[in-house]
């Protein structure tokens, strides 16, 4: 007999999700993450069925001084067109009808599974937003691969924090806006995650035998458009062990200390009045920035009371007026770049 259970819910899974009274309990989401860039990222409908074609100015016309009775040569600007493709993210759920009905409240049971799919989709999107690469053609290209070569045209927006080896992390500064950096979804579709309840269907086990199951389809099609590369800055090669110990490349006196590089990163954005600027860090970096906020000599970093987009009270970490938010998908195991 074939063994199933790796990708479908079993009776064991059902038993683990019911309290002693046979009801579906509130599950403690130990695997949940905070990836706030997905909340900040503005989205627009693409001008292509596959994403967005953007026109970027690559050169300015030449201006000349002239004398009386003397003309000047004609000139023109130059442009380039770039296509940013959206990726198709999907997940499917199939729950045996008998399993779903065991506790008498099939909708509650299915909702508990649906929450896990929503969290999984969000984490996958957040990981792609940071690390999606062209070597995986089904993905869109994320921030870190776009800002990974200091000799590239956007290399001046990559600041190196002195780390080496493979225990590094990054800080990302983004100036979100419709003419700078934004998310895109295919023309004729809609933004955000879509859930379709496919109802009761014929599912198949590993022996290709049928059984009745409740089926759900989750889809999320979107991509990243960096229309103006000047509005994203990556602080790379942050040595995590140095940061934790506050020594070496992350000593307070070091030129590569993250607070100094964050100040330099802000100056890379051409104009912050027309964009929504925000730093994104993982919990390791956020923790040490909070410690800096407790140091009376570090007035640049503050923790201010605020209200998030859902109307909830929060204490927002700020750096020189720019919010600092957590992206759990930014890892501490990045290889050093040059």
**Model confidence over 208-221: pLDDT tens digits?**
999 999 999 999 99
**Mean pLDDT across the stretch 108-130?**
88
pLDDT band at 34 (very low <50, low <70, confident <90, very high): confident
Whole-structure pTM value? 0.82
pLDDT at 1: 35
Nearest C-alpha neighbor of 146 from the set 167, 162, 132, 125:
132
Provide the pLDDT for residue 307: 62
Average pLDDT, the chain: 84
Q: Binning pLDDT at 50, 70 and 90, where does residue 291 land? A: confident
pLDDT confidence of residue 23:
47
Lowest mean pLDDT among 98-107, 168-177, 258-267, 277-286: 98-107
Dihedral sign, Cα of residue 97, residue 103, residue 106, residue 110? negative
Judged by DSSP in three states, 265 sits in helix
* 8 has pLDDT over 50: no
pLDDT score of 63: 85
Residue 29, pLDDT score: 41
Give the side-chain half-sphere CA count within 13 A for 231: 20
Q: Which of 154, 220, 158 is closest to 190 using CA atoms?
A: 220
Contacts of 321 (CB under 8 A, 6+ apart): none
The stretch 245-271 carries a mean pLDDT of 94
- Percent of the chain that is helix, strand, coil (3-state, to 5): 25, 35, 45
The percent of residues above 90 in pLDDT, for the chain, comes to 51
Most confident of 14-23, 54-63, 268-277, 298-307: 268-277
Which of the given ranges, 29-43, 62-76, 176-190, has the highest pLDDT on average? Answer: 176-190
The span from the CA of 183 to the CA of 194, in Å, is 16
pLDDT (0 to 100) of residue 26: 42
pLDDT at 19 over 80: no
For the chain, strand residue ranges (E) read 43-45, 51-59, 78-85, 87-96, 158-160, 168-176, 181-185, 194-204, 210-226, 232-239, 276-281, 301-307, 313-319, 322-326
Total residue count of the chain as it appears in this document: 338
């Amino acid at each position: 007999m074939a063994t199933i259970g790796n990708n479908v819910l079993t009776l064991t899974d059902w038993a683990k999700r019911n309290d002693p009274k046979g009801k579906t309990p509130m599950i403690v989401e130990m695997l949940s993450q905070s990836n706030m860039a997905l909340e900040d990222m503005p989205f627009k409908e693409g001008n292509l069925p596959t994403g967005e074609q953007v026109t970027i100015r690559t050169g300015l016309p030449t201006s000349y001084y002239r004398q009386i009775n003397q003309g000047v040569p004609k000139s023109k600007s130059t442009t380039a067109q770039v296509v940013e493709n959206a990726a198709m993210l999907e997940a499917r759920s199939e729950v045996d009808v008998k399993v779903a009905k065991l506790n008498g409240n099939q909708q509650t049971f299915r909702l508990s599974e649906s929450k896990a799919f929503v969290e999984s989709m969000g984490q996958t999107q957040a990981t792609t937003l940071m690390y999606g690469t062209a070597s995986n053609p089904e993905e869109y290209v994320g921030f870190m691969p776009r800002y990974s070569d200091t000799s590239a045209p956007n290399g001046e927006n990559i600041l190196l924090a002195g780390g080496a080896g493979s225990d590094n992390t990054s800080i990302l500064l983004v100036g979100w806006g419709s003419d700078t950096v934004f998310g895109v979804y295919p023309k004729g579709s809609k933004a955000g995650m879509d859930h379709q309840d496919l109802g009761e269907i014929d599912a198949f086990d590993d022996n290709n035998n049928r059984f009745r199951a409740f089926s759900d389809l989750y889809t999320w099609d979107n991509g990243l458009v960096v229309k103006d590369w000047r509005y994203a800055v990556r602080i790379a090669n942050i040595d995590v062990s140095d940061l934790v110990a506050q020594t070496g490349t992350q000593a307070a006196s070091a030129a590569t200390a993250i607070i100094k590089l964050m100040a330099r990163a802000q100056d890379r954005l051409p104009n912050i009045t027309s964009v929504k600027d925000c730093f994104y860090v993982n919990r390791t970096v956020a923790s040490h920035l909070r410690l800096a906020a407790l140091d009376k000599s570090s007035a640049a970093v503050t923790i201010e009371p605020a209200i998030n987009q859902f109307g909830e009270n929060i204490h927002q970490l700020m750096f020189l007026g720019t919010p600092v938010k957590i992206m759990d998908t930014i890892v501490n195991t990045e290889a050093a770049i040059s």
